Amino acid sequence: MEIKRSEDCLIFIGITPEFIKMSRVNDAISLFMNKKQEVDSSDRFNFIIFQNNGPTYLDHFTFDPNLILKTLKSLEKKIVKANIAGGIFVAITFIIDVFKKISEKVFRLIILTDDGAYKIPFHYIPILEDLIDKVKGMPFFIDIVRINAFDIQERLNLTELTKCTNGMFHEITSIKELNPILTSLSEKKYVKVPAYYMKKKTKRIINRNIPFYVNLAEDPLIFDTIGSCAVCFQRDNIGMIKCPACETIVHKKCWAQWAKMSNIGISHVFRCHNCFNLLKLDEKFVLDVQEGRIPMEEKAKKFTRRDMVNYLRELEEKQKPKMIQVNDPMAIENETIEIKTENQQNSTNKRKKQQIKIIICPNCSKFTTSNNKQCPNCYFPF
């Protein structure tokens, strides 16, 4: 069966201001956001543009389309030639961070680009495909609109990336055609789920991606003083843990039971019932509790979780989205790459394809590539 969900949409504006009027682009984006919120007011938005020092975006998705438009207008004169590979990488790593904190969302990346943007180097294609393969089950979709663009190889590259997520690929010859295209893209994506999903909340993660999601989840913290369990409401100082994000205190056994209803398709990886933060417990311990091999002293009360949309609105009221800029994790001498001879490029591509890998910063857990000497987010040296 297929269902629709609330969507978080990230619009990557990889358009060259010298070629296309940004005011026309902003008008189309405004139409897109308004159409979406007419259907579902829980949909949220963000953007990515490139400035001289790298990709710029808001640190949180926002419910407020006016904030997006106001910010884009203030940045119009500072937008520079975009690096498509770097923008996609930053977009996906940002969405991964959001996924760690909220559930039941569809994540969408909508890319607007032209021939003025830096092309995706050959040796980055497998890196992007590997990253997309890991996140497409969140679920995650890429839709691309190319405007007055004619580079055949880049068309093939971008088409393949959209196919990875069952996304849409559009090519238009005039900015006038952008409004109807974004209107069509404003429609909800359908998410395929098993027929028994609505009753059992059963989900599945592809086996090869299980280690990726396990690594995303945080370990609860030990709580060794007396406190009240937020699930069974019993006061205790034995076997207590707490969420590292919201500091909610719970019996470890109670959360093992809660994982049965809240896991993401991996039995021991689940979400905090209070803040939706992604957590994990020992897999054997979780199964032993759920199957009765480790007895529960108290039966857990009825499990309840906060309403996600109201929770996100409260968060946005407390923490207004702020504009941030990061280094481009895939900036590899773009101009040099474009002027190399075909033989030189093939030789370089073959060598770098073997060398470059996705890595996780040990300091801030952000994703980057192995060609960086320091984390683009926290500047931790590798």
Q: pLDDT digits over 31-83, tens only?
A: 999 999 999 999 999 999 999 989 999 999 999 999 999 999 999 999 999 99
CATH of domain 2-192+315-369: 3.40.50.410
Strand partners, 147: 172
Give 291's pLDDT tier (boundaries 50, 70, 90).
very high
The confidence score (pLDDT) of residue 340 equals: 43
* Rounded Cα distance, 90 and 191, in Å: 24
Give 132's pLDDT tier (boundaries 50, 70, 90).
very high
Tell me what the mean pLDDT of segment 330-334 comes to: 63
Q: Which tokens belong to 295? A: 């007895």
* Rounded Cα distance, 208 and 354, in Å: 20
At 247, the amino acid letter reads: E
- Shortest CA distance to 33 belongs to which of 230, 183, 239? 183
Give 339's pLDDT tier (boundaries 50, 70, 90).
very low
Query: Are 104 and 248 contacting, i.e. CB atoms less than 8 angstroms apart?
Result: no
* Rounded Cα distance, 305 and 273, in Å: 5
β-bridge pairing 240-242 and 249-251: antiparallel
**What strands lie across the sheet with 263-266, from one edge to the other?**
263-266, 269-271, 278-280
**What strands lie across the sheet with 54-58, from one edge to the other?**
169-172, 140-147, 105-113, 6-14, 44-51, 54-58, 323-325
* Rounded Cα distance, 357 and 370, in Å: 5
Average pLDDT in the chain: 87
The confidence score (pLDDT) of residue 347 equals: 47
Where exactly are the structural domains of the chain?
2-192+315-369, 205-306
Q: Which tokens belong to 265? A: 């398709």
Angle between helices 84-99 and 125-135 (to 10 degrees): 20
Task: Find out whether the peptide bond into 139 is cis, omega within 30 degrees of 0.
Answer: yes
Give 375's pLDDT tier (boundaries 50, 70, 90).
confident
Mention every residue, 6+ apart, whose C-beta is less than 8 A from residue 332: 121, 352, 371
Is residue 336 over pLDDT 60? no
The confidence score (pLDDT) of residue 351 equals: 44
The confidence score (pLDDT) of residue 335 equals: 45
* Rounded Cα distance, 16 and 117, in Å: 7
The confidence score (pLDDT) of residue 305 equals: 67
pLDDT tens digits, 188-230 = 999 877 554 444 455 668 899 999 999 999 999 999 899 999 9
